[in-house]
Amino acid sequence: MNDLRSMTLEELRELMKARGEAAFRADQLFGWLHREKVKSLEAMSNLPKSLRQSLAEDFAVGSVRLHTRQISRDGTRKYLFLLPDDQAVETVLMQYDYGNTVCVSSQVGCRMGCRFCASTIGGLARNLSAGEMLEQIYRVEEEAGVTVGHVVIMGSGEPLDNMENVIRFIRLLSHPKGKNISERNITLSTCGLAPQIYELAKEKLNVTLALSLHAPDDALRRTMMPVAERYSIKETLAACDAYFKATGRRVSYEYSLVRSVNDLPEHAEALSALLKGKNCHVNLIPVNPVKESKFSSSQAQTVRRFQKILEKNGINATIRKRMGADIDGACGQLRRRLME
């Protein structure tokens, strides 16, 4: 069935017009979907019963259902949601001092093949619709009894490999008549699909672009991320520079630290030289161990040493607080358990 929650307000107005309904019905419908976040057409009490019944014949509203919830010692909540086709996706709620952040998945699985990530084991099953991404947020808010103010598209999948649906998701999420989350509070993470980054820049969104860099040179990056075989660091950084020029939004560079692989002082010096002069931020991430991977997390003192070298060289760097490691916190781990 068609995904009603994925439709824009303009599309809903066209739908109402085609069905002989007044235009204001589309605004009511949009509000039920994205402000009230209802899970059924029956709940839309101010819509005529005949309209609800006719819409139910062609459209679906509730697209995800909770399968598993895990709560970490640090308060992080990880969810495994089942989709109508019984595929599964993961969503994470992280509670910070500045507010609640939800990490959403954009695909079922992933085909990027990053060596340290559980999401890519087994490959890509399918893309998620904008509505399926939105409903991850809505169901987390309902289950946890919280309001989400920040969203990161960093769960399972490569967002720019599902670009059309992800852009639709961002525009719906930030719509003033919907959830109305500021685009500035949305972060999109990519492994570095350079052509798509240029296309994203043309959309003139105000979202933060986060590049999963993880290595200061091509040779090392190719051992960790197959995408490096297609696009060099030079090509990828040029695309990120174009994004900054088009949007004015500082790019964040994600650097997952793997013990004795990319966390040595010489790696920090090389990364400093690579990013020198850029208006950027480096997010250092002690990698969450994945049992299918040989990679292990860098020690705390190693991470701090890496940060200090970057800062000494004028590179703004922070260490991401490690959250949810005791509840299969790494992308794809909980889904893998369901598949086993």
Query: Residue 327 — φ and ψ, nearest 5°?
Result: -130, 45
Query: Residue 244 — φ and ψ, nearest 5°?
Result: -65, -40
Structure tokens at 182: 């500021």
- Using CA atoms, how far residue 211 sits from 15, 177, 222, 320, in Å, is 38, 30, 15, 15
Strand order across the beta sheet in which 317-319 lies: 65-71, 77-82, 88-96, 99-103, 148-153, 186-190, 208-212, 251-257, 280-286, 317-319
Structure tokens at 114: 């990053």
Candidate list 90, 135, 158, 254, residue with the active-site label: 90
Cα-only R_g, the chain: 21
Is 90 assigned a catalytic role? yes
Is 331 assigned a catalytic role? yes
How does DSSP classify residue 229? G
Residues, the chain: 340
Candidate list 103, 191, 280, 331, residue with the active-site label: 331
- Report the alpha-carbon distance of residue 160 to residue 167 in Å, rounded: 9
Q: Catalytic positions, please?
A: 90, 331
